[in-house]
Amino acid sequence: MTTTLRTGTASAVSAPEAGARRRGGVNLTFLAIELKRLLRNRRTVIFTLVMPPMFFLIFGTAGSYRTTSAGHGNVTAYVMISMALYGAMLATTSGGAMVSVERAQGWSRQLRLTPLRPSVYVAIKVAVAMALGLASVVVVYLVGLAEGAHADLGVWIVTGLVAWLGSIVFAAFGLFMGYLLPAENVMQILGPVLAVLSFAGGLFVPLGDGVFATIGKVTPLYGLAELVRAPLVGDGVTLASVANVVLWAAVFGAGAVWRFRHDTARV
């Protein structure tokens, strides 16, 4: 009888562990913990869920141009889409860069003692960052809807999806920088960098012509900004924009893998 009880108890305890091992150590509890940890970071929430809609209200609803036609919508919708992409970029970069803090606190080293595979850990970080990016896009679009942004229904859907899915490029960027930069100042560095990239890539203001426009077209945000706004302005998707996104996704992804392997190789 005693033997049976022990066997049943051991089986009950080992079953979840066996399931977790089959999934590489991932489970919904761990994913929920990661989401809660991210949302408890007030600075991250402010930068990703408050600043983009605030910028939209400042630049997208002021002046007589707010109702001016712009392709399949108005100028307010144009600014809204740009700010949604900016928010998604901030969210995914911040979510990826959190690995720097976890490395400094020893949390990532502690996770190596669990069944969680390193590749699954990275996938969870990206998933959490993308969840926050989706929230940022939704918030900006809701504010835009309330403040007079007008566009065809298809434009709302497609631009929102492209802004959200395209921001995975910056999730890879955040991971790369998170493994590369020290924890104490990673976001202090990345915040200004993202602002510069936004201006250089034509997200905040049109690039126009000249040498700065030429340089801006090879920056990481240019291609994604063009793809996100294409359904609204009706210019179509250019090969140069797609190539820009693919190239920078490959660069940031390769950098994240390189630094990740270097980090996990340490004893």
Residue 31 has pLDDT above 90, yes or no: no
Gap between the Cα atoms of 146 and 127, Å rounded: 29
Judged against a pLDDT cut of 90, whether residue 157 lies above it is answered with yes
Reported as a single tens digit per residue, the pLDDT across 115-126 is 666 667 777 878
Q: What's the pLDDT band for 265 if we cut at 50, 70, 90?
A: low
Instruction: Give CA separation, 237 vs 4, 40, 245, in Å.
Output: 66, 38, 12
Q: What are the residues whose beta carbons fall under 8 Å from the beta carbon of 80, sequence distance 6 or more?
A: 56, 60, 140, 141, 143, 144, 149
Q: Which amino acid is present at 194?
A: L
Q: When comparing pLDDT for 6 and 199, which is higher?
A: 199
Q: Cβ neighbours of residue 184 under 8 Å, at least 6 residues apart?
A: 104
pLDDT of residue 112: 63
Buried b (16+ CB within 10 A) or exposed e, 181-198: bebeebbeebeeebeebb
CA atoms within 13 A on the CB side of 105: 8
pLDDT at residue 124, rounded to an integer: 80
| Residue % of the chain over a pLDDT of 70 | 77
Identify whether the C-beta of residue 74 lies closer than 8 Å to the C-beta of residue 149: yes
Helices (H), 23-152: 28-39, 42-45, 51-60, 75-97, 99-105, 107-111, 118-146
Residue 109 has pLDDT above 70, yes or no: no
Amino acid at the residue 227:
L
Phi first, then psi: what are they for 211, rounded to 5°?
Answer: -70, -35
**pLDDT interval class at 104 (50, 70, 90):** low
Mean local confidence (pLDDT), 242-264: 85
The residues, ordered by sequence, that sit 6+ positions from 50 with a Cβ below 8 Å of its Cβ are none
For residue 236, the tally of other CB atoms under 10 A from its CB is 9
Give the Cα separation of 114 and 90 in Å (integer). 30
**What phi-psi label fits residue 62: left (phi over 0), alpha (psi between -120 and 50 degrees) or beta?**
beta
Q: Say if residue 11's pLDDT is above 70.
A: no
What dihedral angle (degrees, nearest 10) is formed by the CA atoms of 170, 61, 58, 156?
Answer: -10
Tens digits of residue pLDDT in 41-90: 777 778 788 889 999 998 888 766 666 777 788 889 999 999 999 999 99
The residue among 226, 242, 249, 247 whose CA lies nearest residue 167 is: 249
Q: What is the pLDDT of residue 4?
A: 45
Domain coordinates in residue numbering, the chain = 28-264
- How is residue 192 written in tokens? 């200004």
